[in-house]
Amino acid sequence: MSRFTAMTRVTFSFIAAMALGATAARAADDVLKPGAQKPANAVVLFDGTGTSHWKPQWPVKDGAMVSEKADSVSNEKFTDYKLHVEFNEPKLGPEFKGENRGNSGVYQQGRYEIQVLDSYEGKLYPGACAAVYGVAAPLKNAAKPPGEWQTFDITFHAAKYKGGKKVENAHVTVYWNGELVQDNTGIPKSTGGGAKEEDTPGPIRLQFHHHSVAFRNIWVVPMDDKTSGAEKK
């Protein structure tokens, strides 16, 4: 082995180690944990009353937004953030199977879907509830029966760009009903139905997919100063 080759390998090893160190540091970031109280700097997207933060505005029934006709998109746009959202699956008959059981989704930046589905006693696969849709199945099934309120606590880091090119994938950590189900999962591209990847903030998008799924208590804690849209409250 030549001296040059040896030095080159050492250099590449150092760069790789630095990259791994950056990933490990991100994995150890302060993530939104189950049961966390809404902090003072949270952007409240839905508190059980008005839907002024959303377009289109879904109907409100018993303090919850109920999906209807089309996806609902937040006016605010975010980059890196922590998101709390609660959802409730409709009770459907046995003729509804697989991804035809209360299908919905929570899109990060409008680009990357965390699946919402009635997965009670179901299998783990990349289309199950709490999956990064089409990318990564949840680590475990934490589903409650339809009709019971469920919770996602999501920590999202946007894709990173340099000179107009993506240099790091988006990453997401998800606690589902208190259970860690996505652990700093990398997302290599937009998921099905997601908006194009870009170096810009994006909205929270709630999917309408033929069934009336209810959502409540939605708030976001930005981890940067790039949030755009309505004022915090």
Residue 208 lies in a domain: yes
Do 53 and 142 sit in the same domain of this protein? yes
Backbone angles phi, psi at 18, to 5 degrees: -60, -40
- Are 120 and 6 in the same domain? no
In a shared domain, residues 24 and 90: no
What pairing do the DSSP bridges indicate for beta strands 165-168 and 112-116?
A: unpaired
Residues 3 and 66 in one domain: no
pLDDT at 28 over 60: no
Is-contact 152 106, C-beta < 8 A? yes
Q: Quote the pTM value.
A: 0.86
Query: Considering the domain boundaries, does residue 232 fall inside one?
Result: no
* CA-to-CA separations, 97 to 10, 53, 196, in angstroms, rounded: 54, 33, 30
Do 6 and 99 share a domain, yes or no?
A: no
> Could you tell me if 145 and 160 lie in one domain?
yes
Domain identity same for 45 and 147:
yes
Query: Which range of residues forms the domain containing residue 2?
Result: 1-30
Q: In the chain, what percentage of residues exceed pLDDT 70?
A: 85
188 and 81 housed in the same domain = yes
Average pLDDT over residues 209-216: 94
Question: Does some domain include residue 227?
Answer: no
Give me the phi and psi of 86, to 5 degrees please. Answer: -120, 145
Give a three-class secondary structure readout of 179-202: EEEEEEEEECCCCCCCCCCCCCCE
What CATH number did the domain enclosing 195 receive? 2.60.120.560
Asked if residues 191 and 172 have their Cβ atoms less than 8 Å apart, the reply is no
Inside any domain, residue 228: no
**Quick check: is 2 in a domain?**
yes
Where does the pLDDT of residue 227 fall: very low under 50, low under 70, confident under 90, or very high at 90 and above?
Answer: confident
Tell me whether residue 130 is in a domain. Answer: yes
Q: Is the pLDDT of residue 35 over 80?
A: yes
State the residue for tokens 């609660």: 86
Task: Say whether both 188 and 120 belong to one domain.
Answer: yes
91 with 19, same domain: the answer is: no
Within-domain flag for 188 = yes
Q: Is residue 233 part of a domain?
A: no
Q: Is residue 177 over pLDDT 90?
A: yes
Task: State how many domains the chain has.
Answer: 2
Beta strands in the chain (DSSP E): 43-46, 54-55, 60-61, 64-66, 72-78, 81-88, 104-108, 112-116, 149-157, 160-162, 165-168, 170-176, 179-187, 202-206, 214-222
Residues 23 and 73 in one domain: no
Instruction: Say yes or no: 123 and 180 in one domain.
Output: yes
